[in-house]
């Protein structure tokens, strides 16, 4: 799987004053009608319980210019919880979820279902709101490093 490129996203959630998130490539579009996506989250991640409690989450596709945000949300900088939101410019969606303003795309979702498999939960989210910048500028993770996509035609 290391050789399969994946779009890097910051999965975030908030409930009241509490908010947290994680960097992930295990997320995907699920259906267009209704608009839904899925996100796979380790059940030991701080975001897991908060997603369940809030019944909502967001998926923020990281632009190639924001590798530092990935380092912050993947615990490489020693920050946790709301302290991880210091680097990027964030707004709050209608469902109260953090949305990265300069994301290639940001999706705010209402939690529709949770399916537990092994160490992870697959969260199914109904997309409530979308913010979009430049989708061709999305950060990819492949073979242990970062890359960007290039439109060929």
Q: Number of structural domains, the chain?
A: 1
What are residue 73's phi and psi, to 5 degrees?
-80, -5
| CATH code of the domain containing 134 | 2.30.110.10
Closest Cα partner for 88 from 58, 112, 118? 58
Query: What tokens does 54 get?
Result: 């809030």
For residue 34, give the 3-state DSSP assignment: coil
pLDDT mean by block of 10 residues, the chain; 153 residues = 90 96 96 97 96 98 94 93 89 96 96 97 98 82 89 72
The residues, ordered by sequence, that sit 6+ positions from 77 with a Cβ below 8 Å of its Cβ are 71
**Within-domain flag for 153:** no
Give the global pTM.
0.94
**Within-domain flag for 89:** yes
**Within-domain flag for 35:** yes
The pLDDT, as a whole number, for residue 59 is 98
The pLDDT, as a whole number, for residue 145 is 92
**Within-domain flag for 104:** yes
Whether residue 51 contacts residue 59, with contact meaning beta carbons closer than 8 Å, is answered with no
The pLDDT, as a whole number, for residue 150 is 74
**Within-domain flag for 91:** yes
Query: What tokens does 109 get?
Result: 């979702």
Domain, as residue range, for 134: 6-148
**Within-domain flag for 45:** yes
The pLDDT, as a whole number, for residue 44 is 96
137 forms beta bridges with none
The pLDDT, as a whole number, for residue 79 is 92
């Amino acid at each position: 799987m290391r050789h399969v490129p994946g779009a890097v996203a910051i999965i975030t959630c908030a409930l009241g004053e509490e908010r947290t998130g994680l960097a992930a490539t295990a997320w995907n579009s699920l259906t267009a009608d209704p608009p839904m996506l899925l996100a796979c989250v380790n059940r030991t991640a701080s975001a897991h319980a908060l997603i369940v409690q809030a019944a909502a989450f967001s998926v923020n596709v990281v632009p190639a210019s924001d590798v530092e945000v990935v380092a912050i949300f993947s615990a490489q900088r020693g920050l946790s919880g709301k302290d991880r939101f210091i680097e990027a410019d964030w707004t709050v969606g209608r469902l109260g979820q953090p949305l990265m303003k300069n994301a290639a795309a940001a999706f705010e979702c209402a939690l529709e279902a949770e399916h537990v498999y092994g160490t992870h939960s697959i969260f199914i989210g109904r997309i409530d709101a979308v913010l979009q910048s430049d989708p061709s500028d999305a950060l990819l993770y492949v073979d242990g490093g970062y890359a960007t996509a290039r439109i060929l035609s």
